[in-house]
Amino acid sequence: MVKMFISGSISSKEIPQEVIKSVDDSRKRNYTILIGDAKGIDKNIQDMLKADNYKNVEVYHVGPSPRNLSDREWIDRRIPVDIENKKFFKNGKYTREAQMIKDKAMSNDADFGLVIWKDTSKNRFGNISVSKGSLNNIYNLLVQNKYVGLFYIPKPEKGIMRFKNIAEFEEQVIEKLVQKETKDYYYKMKKNANKSNNKSNNKYSEHGNNEQLSLFG
């Protein structure tokens, strides 16, 4: 069973039409949809799949129960984290680092991914904040030779861009489209990435990869 990981920025409020079409096509192929439990894109995709009565969905979370779960018949997968470690659990809440462990699990379990991403937004103090989770998801998929479709919200005219490897993504997106803050974070993240976790062979044939990429137009 082919598994498709869908993720996106928490700040994003709407699902682009191109993404809706890709999700519809994935349903017709009965792909398993892996999705997180955050607000924003996660919740919106969940609601869309619920409205379509699609059951082949798995929702990943780190807490005792998902923060958002639109259909109680879906599988919910809790990813264990060490709550004794303040890096992952602080002041009664799971941290961003804990959520990134969950996202990494989805990247590992998926065969390919679709990301709806706005690389920066302004926080409540008016400072620029990088959408790190979605960027990490793109990286974690591509370093495992798993294809990624990217809808880059600031450039909707580009539609869903398709990437087969890190070099393509860096050349077309990191070097040409994103904000300086995003570029700086990306290369720092890449430098610090655990290389031992980045070696994985794609279990699908080239035919299978082309089938997956066809979802992205």
95 within 8 A of 88, measured Cβ to Cβ: yes
Distance of alpha carbon 114 from its chain centroid, rounded?
7
* CATH fold of the domain at 3-201: Rossmann fold (3.40.50)
Domain range annotation of the chain:
3-201
106 within 8 A of 5, measured Cβ to Cβ: yes
pTM of the complete model: 0.91
Per-residue pLDDT of the chain (217 residues; tens, 9 = 90+): 899 999 998 888 789 999 999 999 999 999 999 999 999 999 999 999 999 999 999 999 999 999 999 999 999 999 999 999 999 999 999 999 999 999 999 999 999 999 999 999 888 888 899 999 999 999 999 999 999 999 999 999 999 999 999 999 999 999 999 999 999 999 999 998 855 454 444 444 344 577 787 888 7
